[in-house]
Amino acid sequence: MSKKLFIETLGCAMNVRDSEHMVAELHALEGYELTDQAGEADLILINTCSVREKPVHKLFSELGVFNKLKKPDAKIGVCGCTASHLGKEIIKRAPYVNFVLGARNVSKIAQVLHKDKAVEIEIDYDESQFAFKDFRTSAHKAYINISIGCDKQCTFCIVPKTRGDEISIPSELIVAEARRAVENGAKEVFLLGQNVNNYGRRFSGEHEKVNFTELLRRVSALEGVERIRFTSPHPLHMDDEFIEEFARNPKICKSMHMPLQSGSTDILKAMKRGYTKEWFLNRAAKLREMVPNVSISTDIIVAFPGESEEDFAQTMEVLNAVRFEQVFSFKYSPRPLTEAEQFTDEIDSEIGSERLRLLQSRHDEILDELKLEHQGKIVEVYFEELRSDGYVAGRSDNNVGVKVKGSEELLGTIAKVKITEAHRTVAYGEIVA
């Protein structure tokens, strides 16, 4: 009987891809097959996130649960960003953990498995040219990493300390991976990095100068690639060339993530984001002007140290001006190893919660207005998921989650859908052609 692997993935899309890489390595080199029952597994992996404090707390209670329900000889490994920043501390607090593998050491998974109490968390380890074995959770959508690490030093963010400096993956490896994915049936390629439009600043060896815009052109030149998505770009690097390629290239889905963080130029400065409120508004306006059906999503942090009522009002102003189609909003959470952790002008937690509530309720109003605009529209949907309620779900080019009545044969197809019933986060429709 084959050995069984249970893996839980927290956090961002890069973690999802890192998990796929670990599943692939463990299958090819060690014969593991996936299970969704932790109690049946011979190996339990948790791929962790450390961007905010909550998931870190959750980790230790979860580890306790896994330790109780696991088979007697099963191993437990902690991977990802919390592994990078807590390292051997994890084994101290939870001595039954067999190994700890950092977010930048994914390629060592089959090695640490055989070294009890191994802690591999080097953040200058360069795996940008490692050829991972193939495994994808979705047959339709292919996640592809284009860089590792992050070169920015946003003062609130722990990621540069868990994933290390930024190194771009050579473009020919990315193009080859995209080619393999479409040969295996995927129509959509999803390019991933902490800062995708900074692509090409640094390769670990000699490499032709290829920036993100050029990479987009090369991937879109592949026959069989019908859709390209990417996350996350940085507003600072949204130059005209990039926005124009985004507008012009029909294979690029018209959905852009523009992480604002704050609408106040003073707070942006304290966060070391490198742009102003005006620059952000200018880039968003250019996008809306060049791509009328674009959907813009964002990340916002409220109650960053020193955020005054006036600063928060500026954030609300940007929210009202850009009218984002999607907002991921968070209350500031101080993180170890970051500059902002030392800032002393913290905002009272209740004020933070109230700002978050105000922001989210204003955004719900915007969504209620936007959904009326979706009603009756015809959008192109790529169907990816069969639901148990008789619906097939997919995403429109501009990122609306759309469901139609249908069955399996719709999976992996792209069709025009008329939206008959739009809600805040999902729309129902009928295929028109």
Q: Which of 232, 262, 264, 396 binds ligand SAH (CB under 6 A)?
A: 232
215 half-sphere exposure, CB direction, 13 A CA radius = 33
Q: Which of 136, 161, 335, 403 binds ligand SAH (CB under 6 A)?
A: 335
Q: In 297-415, where does DSSP find H-type helix?
A: 309-322, 349-374
| CB 151 to ligand SAH: min, Å | 11
* Shorter beta-carbon distance to ligand SAH: residue 232 or 326: 232
Contacted entry of ligand SAH, ligand F3S, none for residue 160, CB cut-off 5 to 8 Å set by kind: ligand F3S
| Tokens linked to 113 | 């498995």
Q: Which residues contact 373 (CB under 8 A, 6 or more apart)?
A: none
* Shorter beta-carbon distance to ligand F3S: residue 50 or 399: 50
22 φ, ψ to 5°? -70, -40
Give the sheet arrangement for strand 227-231, strand by strand: 141-145, 188-192, 227-231
- Residue 80 makes contact with ligand SAH by CB under 6 A: no
CA distance 381 to 394: 6
235-294 residues in contact with ligand SAH (CB under 6 A) are 259, 261
Q: Which stretch, 150-158, 375-383, 409-417, 425-433, contacts ligand F3S (CB under 6 A)?
A: 150-158
- For the stretch 128-160, what's the b/e string if a residue is b when 16 or more beta carbons lie within 10 angstroms of its beta carbon? beeebeebbeeebbbbbbbbbbbebebbbbbbb
187, 227 Cβ separation under 8 angstroms: yes
336-395 residues in contact with ligand SAH (CB under 6 A) are none
- Residue 234 makes contact with ligand F3S by CB under 6 A: yes
Q: Which residues contact 32 (CB under 8 A, 6 or more apart)?
A: 2, 3, 4, 5, 23, 26, 42, 43
- Residue 330 makes contact with ligand SAH by CB under 6 A: yes
Q: Which stretch, 151-159, 176-184, 327-335, 413-421, contacts ligand F3S (CB under 6 A)?
A: 151-159
CA-based diameter of the chain, in Å?
63
- Residue 297 makes contact with ligand SAH by CB under 6 A: no
| CB 186 to ligand F3S: min, Å | 26
Token pair 């130029």 is at which residue? Answer: 265
* Shorter beta-carbon distance to ligand F3S: residue 136 or 234: 234
- Residue 352 makes contact with ligand F3S by CB under 6 A: no
| CB 196 to ligand SAH: min, Å | 9
> Which residues form the interface with ligand F3S (CB under 6 A)?
150, 152, 154, 157, 159-160, 194-195, 234
